[in-house]
């Protein structure tokens, strides 16, 4: 018993009248994993006497499309198959022809373990296994999943939801281990959804922890997980390799994650880390550091007036805190990781300021204040300092020459003053 390839033009041309039946797959949706064949009428000449559209007779033709595995079942056992697209004739006088298609010789061993060893019968059925990627299988974690994030240096707990996809890699293992018996005996289609996949979803969720450990060990941040569908698919395929691929003949292809829902404690850790990151970025600038310290000093002065222990104690405490803060900020400024590369060092700053602001000569009749501001009025426009009085003039009592401040003898006549 077996199948042989048939010429396409013989099926579609004038010789089509010679075929007993032509079978094609029943409609297969995006989640369909197996579907029975359905009879295509050939001018009412079918020799199918059983009243079933899925029972084939010797000489029938079976049509196979791309990404499908056709299996010929007799008494519940697979007697022949093909993974090649095309038309195939049922010939019960021949041995199984085993058209491996995309699988090559890899599945012959699986077939040899389950093939039917008897003679031809009158109950051969045709089924089609879907070899396409089965997508949009939904999952959710009822309990929080634990994940160590090296960026936050903490164990985070979160609930996850999303979708994953699978692909059948060994149709024979899938037929044996996954397809319920009633699907074959009742000639029904089966979709990978609903109550049927509850067990597999439970297994998938239970292995998320293992996949997360591998994801974490590679140094990935949990916040990037929504964009790592292919990587998570590989981690989950590794975690489920023994249970799904080796035992049941299908594997995880990709995983799509929605935004994680963190526990309250985990969210608090994330928020604090984000706040610290913003502060570090802010304090990298020297002007921001000074503004930060000025703000704290102003708050300290305001608090000192309300201190029940006395304003003096408050000011003393504030001074100590300011000195400590200055030391901390000074150390922070010296840290090459945070220092602003464009900011001047403490030694460079006075020099750069002197270069940037050269001293200005006082105009005629003007004066230079002790703060460095050049003025023409009686008070400094910058600090409010009063213009110093002009020094009193002194003259020699002998010759009348003008004396400078501090001279004890006249430079003209030498008379002691």
Render pLDDT for 380-398 as a digit per residue (tens, 0 to 9). Answer: 888 888 888 776 777 787 8
What is the model's pLDDT at position 403? Answer: 77
What is the model's pLDDT at position 108? Answer: 61
What is the model's pLDDT at position 14? Answer: 43
Homologous superfamily of the 134-265 domain (CATH): Band 7 domain (3.30.479.30)
Provide the CA 357 distance to its chain's centre, in angstroms. Answer: 52
Percent of the chain with pLDDT over 90: 21
Q: How confident is the model at residue 114 (pLDDT cuts 50, 70, 90)?
A: low
Phi, psi values for residue 351, rounded to 5°: -65, -45
Average pLDDT over residues 45-68: 69
Q: Which of 268 and 334 is assigned the larger pLDDT?
A: 268
Which H helix or E strand runs over 201? helix 198-206
What is the model's pLDDT at position 15? Answer: 42
What is the model's pLDDT at position 377? Answer: 82
What is the model's pLDDT at position 275? Answer: 74
Closest CA to 31 of 192, 255, 171: 192
Per the listing, tokens 């003053």 go with: 417
Say how far apart CA 379 and CA 362 lie, in whole Å: 14
Whether residue 365 is predicted with pLDDT greater than 80 in this model: the reply is: no
Per the listing, tokens 């600038």 go with: 285
SS3 category, 335: coil
What is the model's pLDDT at position 10? Answer: 45
Say how far apart CA 194 and CA 191 lie, in whole Å: 8
Distances (CA, A) of 45 to 3, 11, 41, 166, 255: 20, 14, 8, 41, 49
Whether residue 335 is predicted with pLDDT greater than 60 in this model: the reply is: no
Q: What single-letter DSSP state applies at residue 60?
A: -
Give per-residue pLDDT as tens, 217-232: 888 887 787 777 778 8
Distances (CA, A) of 39 to 14, 138, 211: 19, 34, 45
Whether residue 5 is predicted with pLDDT greater than 60 in this model: the reply is: yes
Whether residue 368 is predicted with pLDDT greater than 50 in this model: the reply is: yes
Whether residue 197 is predicted with pLDDT greater than 50 in this model: the reply is: yes
Provide the mean pLDDT of the chain: 74
Stated pTM of the model? 0.56
Percent of the chain with pLDDT over 70: 63
What is the model's pLDDT at position 367? Answer: 80
Query: Dmax over Cα atoms in the chain, in whole Å?
Result: 156
Task: Pull the structure tokens for residue 221.
Answer: 């941040």
Cβ pair 130, 33 in contact under 8 A: yes
Provide the CA 5 distance to its chain's centre, in angstroms. Answer: 48
Cβ pair 131, 35 in contact under 8 A: no
Closest CA to 262 of 236, 230, 223, 235: 223
What is the model's pLDDT at position 412? Answer: 82
- Burial label for 37, CB within 10 Å (0-12, 13-18, 19+), is buried
Provide the CA 363 distance to its chain's centre, in angstroms. Answer: 68
Q: Which of 82 and 148 is assigned the larger pLDDT?
A: 82
Give per-residue pLDDT as tens, 240-282: 888 899 999 999 998 888 887 888 888 888 788 777 765 555 4
Closest CA to 221 of 256, 253, 260, 254: 260
Whether residue 107 is predicted with pLDDT greater than 60 in this model: the reply is: yes
Measured on CA atoms in the order 345, 347, 349, 351, is the torsion positive or negative?
negative
Cβ pair 62, 70 in contact under 8 A: yes
Q: Which long-range contacts (CB under 8 A, 24 or more apart) does 13-18 make?
A: 16/42, 17/42, 17/43, 17/45
DSSP 377-410: SSB-TTT-PBPPPPPPPEE-TTT--EE-TT--B-
Closest CA to 407 of 3, 396, 107: 396
Neighbours of 49 (CB within 10 A): 9
Whether residue 236 is predicted with pLDDT greater than 80 in this model: the reply is: yes
């Amino acid at each position: 018993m077996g199948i042989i390839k048939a010429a396409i033009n013989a099926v579609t041309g004038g010789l089509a009248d010679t075929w007993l039946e032509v079978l094609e797959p029943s409609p297969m949706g995006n989640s369909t994993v197996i579907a029975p064949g359905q009879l295509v009428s050939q001018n009412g000449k079918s020799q199918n006497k059983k009243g079933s559209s899925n029972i084939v007779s010797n000489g029938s033709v079976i049509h196979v499309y791309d990404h499908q595995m056709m299996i010929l079942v007799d008494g519940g056992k697979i007697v022949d198959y093909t993974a090649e697209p095309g038309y195939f004739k049922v010939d019960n006088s021949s041995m199984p022809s085993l058209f491996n298609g995309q699988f090559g010789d890899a599945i012959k061993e699986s077939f040899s373990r389950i093939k039917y060893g008897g003679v031809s019968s009158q109950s051969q059925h045709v089924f089609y296994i879907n070899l396409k990627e089965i997508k949009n299988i939904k999952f959710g974690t009822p309990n929080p999943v634990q994940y160590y994030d090296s960026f936050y240096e903490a164990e985070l707990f979160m609930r996850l939801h999303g979708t994953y996809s699978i692909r059948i890699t060994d149709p024979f293992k899938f037929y044996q281990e996954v397809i319920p018996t009633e699907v074959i005996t009742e000639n029904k289609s089966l979709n990978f959804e609903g109550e049927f996949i509850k067990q597999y979803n439970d297994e998938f969720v239970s292995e998320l922890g293992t996949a997360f450990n591998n994801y974490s060990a590679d140094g990935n941040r949990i916040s990037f997980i929504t964009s790592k569908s292919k990587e998570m698919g590989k981690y989950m395929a590794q975690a489920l390799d023994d249970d799904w691929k080796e035992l049941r003949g299908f594997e995880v292809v990709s995983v799509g994650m929605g935004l994680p829902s963190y526990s309250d404690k985990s969210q608090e850790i994330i928020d604090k880390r984000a706040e610290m990151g913003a502060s570090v970025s802010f304090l990298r600038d020297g002007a921001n550091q000074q503004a930060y310290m000025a703000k704290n000093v102003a708050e300290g002065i305001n608090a000192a007036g309300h201190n029940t222990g006395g304003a003096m104690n408050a000011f003393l405490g504030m001074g100590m805190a300011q000195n400590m803060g200055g030391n901390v900020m000074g150390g922070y400024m010296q840290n090459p990781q945070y220092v602003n590369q464009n900011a001047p060092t403490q030694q460079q700053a006075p020099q750069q300021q002197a270069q940037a602001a050269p001293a200005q000569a006082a105009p005629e009749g003007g004066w230079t204040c002790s703060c460095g501001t050049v003025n023409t009025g009686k008070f400094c426009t910058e600090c409010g300092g009063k213009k110093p009085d002009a020094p009193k003039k002194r003259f020699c009592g002998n010759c009348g020459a003008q004396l400078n401040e501090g001279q004890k003898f006249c430079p003209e006549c030498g008379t002691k003053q």
